[in-house]
Chains A and B, each alone.
Chain A
Amino acid sequence: MVIETFNLTKQYDGKGGCVDINLSVKEGEVFGFLGPNGAGKSTLVKTLVGLLRPTGGSARVLGRPLGDIRAMGKIGYLPENFRYHDWMTGLEVMRFHAELYKIPRPAERISELLELVGLSGHEKKKVAGYSKGMQQRLGLAVALLADPELVFLDEPTSALDPVGRIEVREIIRDLKKKGKTVFLNSHLLSEVEMVCDRVAIINRGRIIACGDLKDLLFENSALTAKIGSPAEGLIEELKKIAVEVKLREDSLTIKVAKRDDIPLIAKVIVQSETPLYELKMEGVSLEELFVNLVRGGEALDNGD
C-alpha cells in the first residue's frame, strides 16, 4: 500500500478536522477524496504530507511514518491555498524547489514540466505577475518536479479555465499510465468521476463511503423491470437473488448485490412466464450518490 491510515485523527482543540480515518491507497491508482467544504479533506491531506501533526491514530506513506524525510523526496504536493515567493520568477521557483529536492542538473526536467503545464514563455516573469491559474499551473509543475511516486493534488483545478481542467485531467491520466499514485482531493465530482479508480467520501470529518468508484455507483443503482401481471411466486423467487425487490403497479424495482445477478433476474422473470417489456439499470451519478450520502448523513445527525 502506498498510503495506509489507522484511525488517523487530526482535530483542533478537540473539534473539526478529521476523525478515525482508515484508508488504503494502492500503488498506481488514482484515488479521489471527496467531501463538502469544511468536511476535513485538506486536513487529512496536510496530515498525510506532514504539515499537521495527528492527534490520534497513525499512518504510513510509501511505507514510512508520516513526515519521514526519505518518503518526502518521493512525494509531490500541490497545496490548496498555496503561494510561491512572489519576488521570484517562475523559473527561479522551479530551481528553488529542485534544489530542495536535491535534484542534480534539473534544467531539462524544469523546461519539460513548464512545457507540460503550459508555462513555457512565462518562466522569466515574476510570480507576482502571474494570474491565479498560472500560479496553479506552476504549483502543479513544482509538485511533479521530483518525478514523485505519490502525488497529492488538493483542488488542482480550482483556478483553471475549462481547457486547463482538461489538461490537468490528461496529466493525471498520464501519471497513472506511468504507474504513479495520485491522491486527488476535490469537490468537483465530474472531475473525480472521470479520472478516479477509487473514492472516499468524507463528511463532518468522518469517512461515510469508500471503495471502487464503479462498485459504489452500482451499489446505489437499481434494476427497473416493466412487466405485465406478475406470475405467482415471482417476487419470492426474485428475493432469493436480489437484495431488495419492490413492486409498484407494472414496475419492479430490484436491487442486486453484483452485476452478474442481472442475467439471473432476467432469467427468473422470463421463466416465470411473466411478460417482460423492459429491463434497465437505473444508475446514479457520482453527484447523486454524493448528495444522497451527505444529506443522508445530515438527516441522521438531525435525528430524522
Chain B
Amino acid sequence: MITVIKYTFKEMFHKKALFFVLLLTLAYLTLYGFGIKEAYEALPRVNTLALPIFSEFITVGLYFASLIVAFLVVISSAGALSADVESGVMQAVLVKPIKRYEVVLGKFFGIGLIVSLYSLFLFFGIIFLNKALGARVVFSFSQVFNGALLFLWMPLILLSVCLWGSARMSTLGTGIMAVMLYGFALIGGWVEQIGYLISLGGRSATGLINAGIIASLLMPTDAIYRKMNSVLFSSNGIYFLRNNLLGGGAEPSLYMLLYAAGYMVFMLYMAARSFTLRDM
C-alpha cells in the first residue's frame, strides 16, 4: 500500500489540474485579501460592532475556500481508479501481489495527503490574511487546531465518496455524482439555516430543518462546515455566526459528527468492496 500512496502522491504533482487549482487559489486569495483590506478599513473601531463582521468575512473566506478544495478533490479523485481501469494502467498493477483494497486505501491516503496539505494551506492562509489585514479576532490554539482539523475533514469525506464512485463507475459518472451530492449538501445547509432563522422568529419551520438534516445524512460535509464555524467563532458561550446563512445555525450534534465519521469509513469500505468485485 505504501507504494501506491507514494506514487499517487507523485502523480498528483504531474497533473495539470493541480497547477490550475493552485493558480485559482492564488487569484482567489489575492481578490479576497484585497476585498477584506478595503472592508476592514471602513469598519467601526468599536469591537462589539466589528467582531461579528470579522467573523462573517472569515467564514465567507473559508466557505469559498472549501469549494475550491472540493473542486480539487473531485478533479483529482473522480478518475483515481476508473481512469486507470479505462486506460488499461490498472491491469498491470492488479496482477501484482497486492490486494485491491490496498490500492483503494493507497489512493485515499495519497490523494488525501495532498488535499489535507492544501486544505491546511488555505485554512491558515485565510486566517493569516484576516489577521494581517486588520481583523481583530483572537483565536485560541485549540480553536484553530480543531477548526483546521474539521476544515480538512470535509474534503476527506468527499474523497471517500469519489473513490466509491470511481471504484464502480466511469470517471464522468463519478464526477457528476460527487458534484451533485456536494451541491445537495450545500443547498441543504442553506435550507436548514433558513428554517432555523424562521424558527427564531417564532414560526415553525420543521420541514426546512428536516430537509437540511436529510441532505446532511446524504453528504455530511455542510454539517462539518457548521461545526467548524461553531468551534472557531464561539467564545464564552457566545456564537457570533448564529445568523449566518452560509454556515451558522444550530451546531451539529455529536451524533452527526459520529455519523460523518462512520459515513466516511463506510464509503471507503464500499469503495474497497466494489473495486474488489469489479471486472477489469
Q: Which residues of A contact B97 (CB under 8 A)?
A: 69-70, 72-73, 100-102
- Given A52-B279, A53-B279, A83-B89, verify A100-B11 contact (CB < 8 Å): no
Residue of A nearest to B94 (CB): A51
Q: Which residues of A contact B14 (CB under 8 A)?
A: 87
Question: Is A33 in contact with chain B by the CB < 8 A criterion?
Answer: no
Question: Is A99 in contact with chain B by the CB < 8 A criterion?
Answer: yes
Whether the pair B95, A49 counts as a contact (CB closer than 8 A) is yes
Select A50's contact among B7, B87, B95, beta carbons within 8 Å.
B95
Whether the pair A75, B95 counts as a contact (CB closer than 8 A) is yes
Map CB proximity to B onto A55-75 as digits: 1 under 8 Å, 0 otherwise.
000000000000001101101
A216 to B39 alpha-carbon distance, docked (Å)? 88
Whether the pair B99, A69 counts as a contact (CB closer than 8 A) is yes
Q: Which residues of B contact A53 (CB under 8 A)?
A: 277, 279
Size of the chain B interface, CB-CB below 8 angstroms? 20
Q: Which residues of B contact A69 (CB under 8 A)?
A: 97-99
Say how far A205's CB is from chain B's closest CB, in angstroms. Answer: 16
Question: Is A6 in contact with chain B by the CB < 8 A criterion?
Answer: no
Q: Which residues of B contact A51 (CB under 8 A)?
A: 91, 94-95, 279-280
Interfacial residues of chain A within 80-102, with CB under 8 A of chain B in the complex? 81-85, 87, 96-97, 99-102
Q: Determine chain B's interface SS by DSSP, over half rule.
A: helix
Size of the chain A interface, CB-CB below 8 angstroms? 27
Whether the pair B280, A142 counts as a contact (CB closer than 8 A) is no
Say how far B1's CB is from chain A's closest CB, in angstroms. Answer: 10
Q: Which residues of A contact B92 (CB under 8 A)?
A: 77, 79, 82, 84, 97, 139, 142
Question: Is A255 in contact with chain B by the CB < 8 A criterion?
Answer: no
Residue of B nearest to A51 (CB): B280
Map CB proximity to B onto A224-235 as digits: 1 under 8 Å, 0 otherwise.
000000000000
Whether the pair B87, A83 counts as a contact (CB closer than 8 A) is yes
Map CB proximity to A onto B92-115 as digits: 1 under 8 Å, 0 otherwise.
111111110000000000000000
- Given A83-B88, A87-B14, A96-B7, verify A50-B96 contact (CB < 8 Å): no
Question: Is B3 in contact with chain A by the CB < 8 A criterion?
Answer: yes
Whether the pair B95, A77 counts as a contact (CB closer than 8 A) is yes
Q: Max chain B CB contacts within 10 Å: which of A82, A96, A100?
A: A100
Q: Which residues of B contact A82 (CB under 8 A)?
A: 88, 91-92
Select A46's contact among B96, B277, B280, beta carbons within 8 Å.
B280
Whether the pair A81, B95 counts as a contact (CB closer than 8 A) is no
A101 to B280 alpha-carbon distance, docked (Å)? 20
Say how far A283's CB is from chain B's closest CB, in angstroms. Answer: 38
Map CB proximity to B onto A207-250 as digits: 1 under 8 Å, 0 otherwise.
00000000000000000000000000000000000000000000
- Given A51-B279, A100-B3, A100-B96, verify A85-B89 contact (CB < 8 Å): yes
Say how far B203's CB is from chain A's closest CB, in angstroms. Answer: 55
Q: Which residues of A contact B94 (CB under 8 A)?
A: 50-51
A142 to B89 alpha-carbon distance, docked (Å)? 13
Whether the pair A52, B280 counts as a contact (CB closer than 8 A) is yes
Select B95's contact among A72, A85, A96, beta carbons within 8 Å.
A72
A96 to B10 alpha-carbon distance, docked (Å)? 11
Say how far A229's CB is from chain B's closest CB, in angstroms. Answer: 65
Q: List 25 A-B contacts (CB under 8 A).
A: A49-B95, A50-B95, A51-B95, A52-B279, A69-B98, A69-B99, A72-B96, A72-B98, A73-B97, A77-B92, A79-B88, A79-B95, A81-B88, A82-B91, A84-B89, A84-B92, A85-B7, A85-B89, A96-B7, A97-B96, A99-B3, A99-B6, A100-B3, A100-B93, A100-B97
Binding site for A on B (CB under 8 A): 3, 6-7, 11, 14, 87-89, 91-99, 277, 279-280
Name the 3 nearest CB pairs between A and B, nearest first.
A100-B96, A87-B14, A73-B97
